[in-house]
Amino acid sequence: MDVAQVIAELRETAAAAGDLLRLDPGITDEAMDAWPVPVPEAVRTLLRTIGGIRITTYYTERPDGRLDEHISFGDQLNQPGDRSMTWYAEHAGGEGTHWFVHAGTEGSFTYVDVDPGSGDWGPVFVFWDAADTVRAADSLPDLLLRLAADVRGALAEANGDPRVFVEAFDERAGARYTDAVDRSAVRASEARTGPDPALAAAAADLPDEALIADLGAAGQAVRVDFFPLVTFGYRRAARGRVLAAVPWDADTVRRLQGA
């Protein structure tokens, strides 16, 4: 995907939105070099220019009647040793496997898959304090293009009324998750001998009780519910097409309980 196009569309959308959408300053290479995950050049190009996005998601006429959601590409949600994020970081797969970009006011956590071997940044996933998760976009640039389109659609509907904008944007952004296609998970022990070669390969080194799902081809939002597992870490394979829930061992549970 053309990162220059993403930057241009975000800038044009911000100019049209006024203070309903604001872009944060870019992030320096020095700062990105200090992160615990590699940052590919295409991602660096984007982040050097735009360090985050603030979108108004609640609005009244009162002086304190405004709330913004902050999508941050920096390390605010990715600090090693941040006790408030320890459980979520482990749930997302552990250090070096992901990069958080948003903690939603409604309790969601959004991260980009990072391949620990190649360093590539892959699909964007969202999870809540539960066993379900959504593959929301094929990449961070893809997510941002969809975001810009949602904002432009909401602006057109609002016709200058920020309260209408908030409602229209919420409806558009929420549809990405409510309209997601549901996929089922199977036990790793079954997947190893099943007909899906991608699942069989990914399940080879998983414990029998892990659950694993093939999310299908790119281009659509997909939801998987890994219940009855509740204490587990996500593991991704095949460039984010395969997603597994791997139960935590007793030592990990004790460590997280003490965090």
More confident residue, 132 or 80: 132
**Residue 162 CB neighbours (<10 A):** 19
**pLDDT reported for residue 213:** 97
**pLDDT reported for residue 210:** 97
At 72, give phi and psi (nearest 5°): -115, 125
Task: Assign domain 1-179 to its CATH superfamily.
Answer: SMI1/KNR4-like (3.40.1580.10)
**pLDDT reported for residue 80:** 73
DSSP-derived secondary structure for the chain: --HHHHHHHHHHHHHHHGGGEEEEPP--HHHHHTSSS---HHHHHHHHH--EEEEEEEE-SSTT-EEEEEEE-SSTT--TT-GGGHHHHHHTTSTTSEEEEEE-TTS-EEEEEE-TTT--EEEEEEE-SSSEEEEEESSHHHHHHHHHHHHHHHHHHHTT-HHHHHHHHHHHHHHHHHTPEEE--EEHHHHTTSS-HHHHHHHTTS-TT-EEEE--SSSS-EEEE-TT--SEEEEEETTTTEEEEEEPPHHHHHHHHT-
More confident residue, 59 or 26: 26
Q: How far apart are CA 106 and CA 52, in angstroms?
A: 19
Residue 9 has pLDDT above 90, yes or no: yes
**pLDDT reported for residue 16:** 97
Report the candidate in 127, 124, 123, 93 with the shortest Cα–Cα distance to residue 107.
127
**pLDDT reported for residue 64:** 63
Domain regions of the chain by residue span? 1-179, 181-259
What is the average pLDDT score of the chain?
92
Summarize the confidence of residues 12-32 as an average pLDDT. 97
Least confident of 17-21, 57-61, 119-123: 57-61
CA angle 55, 139, 239 (to 5 degrees): 150
Summarize the confidence of residues 146-163 as an average pLDDT. 95
pLDDT tens, residue by residue, 195-212: 999 999 999 999 999 999
pLDDT tens, residue by residue, 48-104: 999 999 999 876 665 566 788 999 999 999 987 777 888 999 999 998 999 999 998
Give percent above pLDDT 70 in the chain: 96
What are the angstrom distances between the C-alpha of 92 and each of 3, 125, 252? 26, 9, 14
**pLDDT reported for residue 130:** 78
